[in-house]
């Protein structure tokens, strides 16, 4: 099953990984335990991550971590 990676903040697609086990390897743990995996009605799996752009913003504005989403 392929897994689509998306930024949890700006919803930007960060690419698709064809093998979901590869995603677990990258994350170093089972994403189901991280509460960042979503399954839509089409059976597609999404993993919510933080893109480089948002990570940079969050590093400069740590208080934004309090908000789940923001628009930049």
We find the least distance from the C-beta atom of residue 63 to Zn ion, in angstroms, to be 17
Please, what is the minimum distance in Å from the beta carbon of residue 10 to Zn ion? 3
Would you say 4 and 45 are in contact if contact means Cβ atoms under 8 Å apart?
yes
DSSP 62: G
Closer Cβ to Zn ion, 17 or 54, answer by number: 54
Binding interface with Zn ion (CB under 5 A): 7, 9-10, 51, 54
Calpha distance 27→43 (Å, rounded): 21
**Which of residues 23 and 54 has its CB atom nearest to Zn ion in the complex?**
54
Shortest reach from residue 59's CB to Zn ion, in Å = 13
| Beta strands per DSSP E along 1-72 | 3-7, 13-17, 37-39, 45-49
């Amino acid at each position: 099953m392929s897994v689509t990676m998306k930024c949890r903040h700006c919803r930007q697609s960060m690419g698709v990984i064809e093998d979901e086990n590869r995603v677990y390897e990258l994350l170093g743990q089972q994403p189901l335990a991280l509460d960042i995996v979503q399954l839509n009605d089409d059976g597609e799996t999404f993993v919510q991550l933080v893109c480089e752009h948002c990570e940079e913003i969050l590093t400069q504005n740590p208080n934004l971590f309090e908000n789940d989403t923001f628009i930049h």
